[in-house]
Amino acid sequence: MRILVTGAAGQLGREVLEKAADRGAEVLGLVRGEGVPGFACARADLTDERSLQRVTEDFRPDAVINCAAWTAVDAAEAPENREAVWAVNSTAVKTLALLCRAQGARLIQVSTDYVFGRTDDAEILPEDEPSPLSVYGKSKLEGERAAALCENHCVVRTSWLFGKGDNFVRTMLRLGRTHASLRVVSDQTGRPAYAPDLAALLIDAAEAPRRGVLHAANEGPFVSRAAFAQEIMRQAGLKTQIIPVTTAAYGPAAAERPANSRLSTDCLEQAGFSRLPDWRDALSRYLAWEKENG
Ligand SMILES: NC(=O)c1ccc[n+]([C@@H]2O[C@H](COP(=O)([O-])OP(=O)(O)OC[C@H]3O[C@@H](n4cnc5c(N)ncnc54)[C@H](OP(=O)(O)O)[C@@H]3O)[C@@H](O)[C@H]2O)c1
């Protein structure tokens, strides 16, 4: 199988590239800047339609796994960035979808819990009505709709992604080493997704015929950000005290965050995919990796 991985230098894209190659797929990473050592990569900006066409026509992928996105959620709110956010999170997905459709390739589009803006505490099903609160969330929702222009597509929404990049876990570890206490919000609830575990699911999704929307995060209990931070400190052996605060008390951020990020992952089993491992186990694997390489 030939798999094109966009955003291949990103936190998730790297893992997808590595795992797909491990499984024997012929992989090509699409990067905007530096390539990924050890992997074939093509350099192109996702917003450059001609380059995308050239790369896909040369490589002829069976599947494209789109891990590229504008992911700086607060910066996305700045009026001067909106056009660029929209170009990569929405317009470029449309281009990819049309290219995939024309070339008979399958499109796997990675999306986010930020397409929801709910304050209830029910689990969110893939078919529930989206209600994004932020520019990032709105642009990703448009990206989902654009992906559907390729009939053979699957949207995989995930939440609280962490891996070998800048993310909540790394921030907590860095701050935990220098602070006796940390204020962390306790009214945003969800489940983390570990990039290598999610990468495996994305490749399963690329190989399977299932169409539509899936929700994917690691299994285990839903937790608040504060409870997640407490578990990070506990597993890392840090004594930092986590002080739970409300989002309002924490102070304003440019982009409003969803309070409810409880993505129901029952759809994975129903669609014949394996559920991801418990996030507490994923966290311990990540911390072991950090200890060795971080
Ligand atoms: N991080 C989270 O907590 C989270 C949660 C839910 C869903 N997601 C979704 O998961 C996916 C992967 O996220 P991530 O954390 O791996 O993101 P990331 O580390 O920020 O990686 C995104 C990648 O996209 C590339 N990219 C951005 N604009 C581009 C353009 N115009 N042309 C080509 N490449 C471009 C970036 O390239 P450069 O390296 O050159 O910047 C980067 O490599 C995204 O779809 C995101 O929306 C993330």
- Please give, one letter per residue, the 3-state secondary structure of 239-281: CCEEEEECHHHHCCCCCCCCCEECECCHHHHHCCCCCEEEHHH
Pocket test for ligand 1, best of 17, 32, 49, 158 (most atoms within 8 A of CB): 32
Residue with the smallest CA separation from ligand 1 atom 10 is 110
Q: Measure the CA–CA gap between 54 and 44, rounded to whole angstroms.
A: 10
* Ligand 1 touching residue 11 (CB < 6 A): yes
Which atom belonging to ligand 1 lies closest to the Cα atom of 113?
Answer: 6
Which atom belonging to ligand 1 lies closest to the Cα atom of 66?
Answer: 45
Position 165 scores a pLDDT of 87
Q: Measure the CA–CA gap between 8 and 66, rounded to whole angstroms.
A: 9
**Domain ranges within the chain, ordered by starting residue:** 2-166+191-219+260-278
DSSP result, 12-64: HHHHHHHHHHHTT-EEEEEESSS--TTS-EEE--TT-HHHHHHHHHHH--SEE
pTM of the model: 0.97
Position 193 scores a pLDDT of 98
Cite the DSSP H helix spans in 60-194. 82-86, 92-103, 135-147, 168-178
Q: Which residues are catalytic?
A: 136
Position 149 scores a pLDDT of 98
Contacts of 258 (CB under 8 A, 6+ apart): 113, 114, 116, 117, 118, 133, 137, 188
Bridge pairing between strands 189-190 and 223-224: antiparallel
User: Which segments in the chain show pLDDT lower than 70?
Assistant: none
Tokens of residue 63, six digits: 């599947």
Q: Is CATH 3.40.50.2300 what the domain over 2-166+191-219+260-278 is classified as, yes or no?
A: no
Q: Can you give the C-alpha Rg of the chain in angstroms?
A: 18
Contact 195, 19 (CB under 8 A): no
Q: Which residue carries 């962390």 as its tokens?
A: 184
Tokens of residue 278, six digits: 């418990």
Q: Which residue carries 């994923």 as its tokens?
A: 282
Position 293 scores a pLDDT of 86
Tokens of residue 255, six digits: 């982009």
* Ligand 1 touching residue 110 (CB < 6 A): yes
Which atom belonging to ligand 1 lies closest to the Cα atom of 12?
Answer: 16
Position 106 scores a pLDDT of 98
* Ligand 1 touching residue 47 (CB < 6 A): yes
Q: Measure the CA–CA gap between 238 and 235, rounded to whole angstroms.
A: 8
